[in-house]
Amino acid sequence: MLRAVFRLTATGARSLTRSRPCYSAPLAFRCYSHGKVETDEEFDSRWVTYFSKPDLDAWELRKGMNTLIGYDLVPEPKILDSALRACRRLNDLASAIRILEAVKDKAGPHKDIYPYLIQELKPTLAELGISTPEELGIDKL
Amino acid sequence: MLRLTTGRVGSLLARRATAMVPGVMIYGGRNAHSDMSQPMYWDRADIPLPDKPYKDVLTDADKSLKQKEKGPWGQLTKEEKIALYRLSFCQTFPEMKQKTAEWKTVIGGVFFFLGFTGLVVWWQRVYVYPPRPRTFEDEWQAQQIKRMLDMRVNPIQGFSNKWDYEKGQWK
């Protein structure tokens, strides 16, 4: 029980900054006494697989997205790509835009994460025809 | 002046009664949420996709827009995309994260009640407190100090030590 108090959230380190050389993200670290530690790649691929399910329904999309946003991390572009494609399969543009807003909010004070995400997602956004909140002007009050 | 403060207090109480869940914005009127057994809509930063879309009842224009949504999204205009967003969601993230002026009401309410308490204490002092004991009078206090010095209270390091007995004054 005491260990739980000192447990560092591995997810805090799992931001996409590991793809950029200029940041040094601390290694994911959980004080388990037993049990396997899930690597960042395993986490990412698990979520990409989740959203890639061809017959994903609207509830599963919402549940997945809300759970993902509940974690202490900003999702990798590939997870978001998979989620946006799921929105396309469900014909839900509003949710796609909402997802972009949500990850921008998740980045919090780190203002350079969101532009990086958009840059990485540009091909997908162009392919699917998703406008960013900035392009629609709803990022301002 | 009094009516202003009661109004502020009244609004503070009303707000406290309805906005019990932190971080949740109650859309529409205060009576909008009546059936909590149905999926509900929230504007929450940590639940970006709520259980149901904001607008359930779609007009014909909305329905045709929804049909168009099934095609390529590149063909939708900006206004149509915004309209689709607003069908599903009430507030955008910047709108829901707006700062309110609630803190002014809170501080005002705090000061108001502090002031009221001050008035209560004042009334108590006038009508409830017993008469002040004699021992507070300056003359009594002087005589008390003289008695303590005569008794040599704490003569080594304490009270009487600080009195210069030759000169008859404090050291």
What number is the ipTM of this complex?
A: 0.75
How buried is residue B150: exposed, middle or buried, by Cβ count under 10 Å (0-12/13-18/19+)?
A: exposed
> What residues make up the domain containing A64?
40-136
Average pLDDT, chain A: 85
Domain total in chain A = 1
Look up residue A50 and give its DSSP letter.
H
Q: Which of these ranges, A14-28, A106-120, B129-143, has the smallest mean pLDDT?
A: A14-28
Look up residue A131 and give its DSSP letter.
P
In this structure, is residue A45 part of a structural domain?
Answer: yes
Q: Do A101 and B78 touch (CB under 8 A)?
A: no
Distance, in Å, from the CA atom of A98 to the CA atom of A132, rounded to the nearest integer, reads: 9
In this structure, is residue A34 part of a structural domain?
Answer: no
Query: With left for phi above 0 and alpha for psi between -120 and 50, is residue A24 left, alpha or beta?
Result: beta
Architecture category of domain B36-98 in CATH? Orthogonal Bundle (1.10)
**Cα of A110 to nearest chain B Cα, Å:** 16
Give the Cβ contact number of residue A103 at 10 Å: 24
| pTM recorded for the entire structure | 0.68
Residue among B42, B49, B66 with most chain A CBs within 10 A, to mutate: B49
pLDDT on residue A33: 75
Look up residue B98 and give its DSSP letter.
P
Chain A residues with CB inside 8 Å of B82's CB?
Answer: 136-138
Chain A residues with CB inside 8 Å of B72's CB?
Answer: 129
How many angstroms from the chain centroid is the CA of residue B95? 22
In this structure, is residue A82 part of a structural domain?
Answer: yes
Q: Do B49 and A95 touch (CB under 8 A)?
A: yes
- Give the nearest partner residue to B48 out of A91, A98, A131, using CB atoms: A98
Confidence tier at B27 by pLDDT (50, 70, 90): low
Helix axis angle for A93-107 and B78-88, nearest 10°, is 80
Residue among A74, A87, A89, A97 with most chain B CBs within 10 A, to mutate: A97
Higher pLDDT: A77 or B17? It is A77
In this structure, is residue A28 part of a structural domain?
Answer: no
Q: Do B49 and A93 touch (CB under 8 A)?
A: no
pLDDT on residue B87: 95
CATH number at residue A128: 1.25.40.40
